Amino acid sequence: MIKKTVANIQEACEGVSSSMTFMFGGFGLSGIPENAIGYLSSLDISDLTCISNNAGVDDFGLGLLLQRKQIKKMISSYVGENAEFERQMLSGELDVELIPQGTLAERCRAAQAGFPAFYTPAGYGTEVAIGKEARDFDGKMHILESAFNADFGFIKAWKGDEVGNLIFKGTARNFNPNMCGAAKITVVEVEELLPAGSLDPNQIHIPGIFVQRIFQGEKFEKRIEQRTTRPRS
């Protein structure tokens, strides 16, 4: 078996540079690869294209890269919790491509599976369809969407082993599985890194074939994007 473990985040991110395209797992602040994002924000890299369901918040997640003006383009579905993102988008500093959430997930999965493109009805007749091929299937119009082409995919998992097999926990099992193997290099940070053979094969969500580098994360804050509670009765 080929071990995929690396010693630390520095080794895991070896080869990243300006003008690359990065994928980031996560939904809101759940399941984001915060160790990787924190390290990337400390590097002298810029003009990045970032593919992520969301843009984090102002002081956490991809908000850190936005604060340092490292991101040139965001490809996302939901970006409503980041004031700095809004400022940069409205001022023209940031190029933004907003796409339907299901299309975002499928463009990741298509890249993972090796499909160059797919048809979907989502977005037909809207700005999303401008410049895209349209085709009728059984009386319903679809538009052609291309798979993503990313240099690095940064993933967060609950447990992983030395050969890259992964288990996700709860809502952290969102875009992370679809992004594994969807980029040229998949980097995974895990809360618990175990020896090969430690995971129950029936519980594995993503096999190691989709992972190139895996490391033990140092800290996980597990923030809540919006805390909502019932009023006292």
pLDDT value of position 224: 66
Residue 127 burial class via C-beta count within 10 angstroms: exposed 0-12, middle 13-18, buried 19 and up? exposed
Does residue 191 lie in a domain region?
yes
184-224 confidence digits (pLDDT tens): 999 999 999 999 999 999 999 999 999 999 999 887 776 66
Given phi > 0 = left and psi -120 to 50 = alpha, else beta, which region is 164? Answer: left
DSSP string over 45-93? --SEEEE-S---BTTBTTHHHHHTT-EEEEEES--TT-HHHHHHHHHTS
Give me the number of domains the chain comprises: 1
| pLDDT surpassing 70 at residue 174 | yes
Does residue 232 lie in a domain region?
no
Does residue 23 lie in a domain region?
yes
The span from the CA of 46 to the CA of 43, in Å, is: 9
Does residue 116 lie in a domain region?
no
Q: Which helix (H) or strand (E) covers residue 184, if one does?
A: strand 183-194
| pLDDT surpassing 90 at residue 144 | yes
**What pTM, to 2 d.p., does this model score?**
0.91
Q: What share of the chain is helix, strand, coil (3-state, %, to 5)?
A: 25, 30, 45
pLDDT value of position 59: 82
The three-state secondary structure class of 227 is coil
58: containing domain: 9-106+149-216
Does residue 136 lie in a domain region?
no
| pLDDT surpassing 70 at residue 225 | no
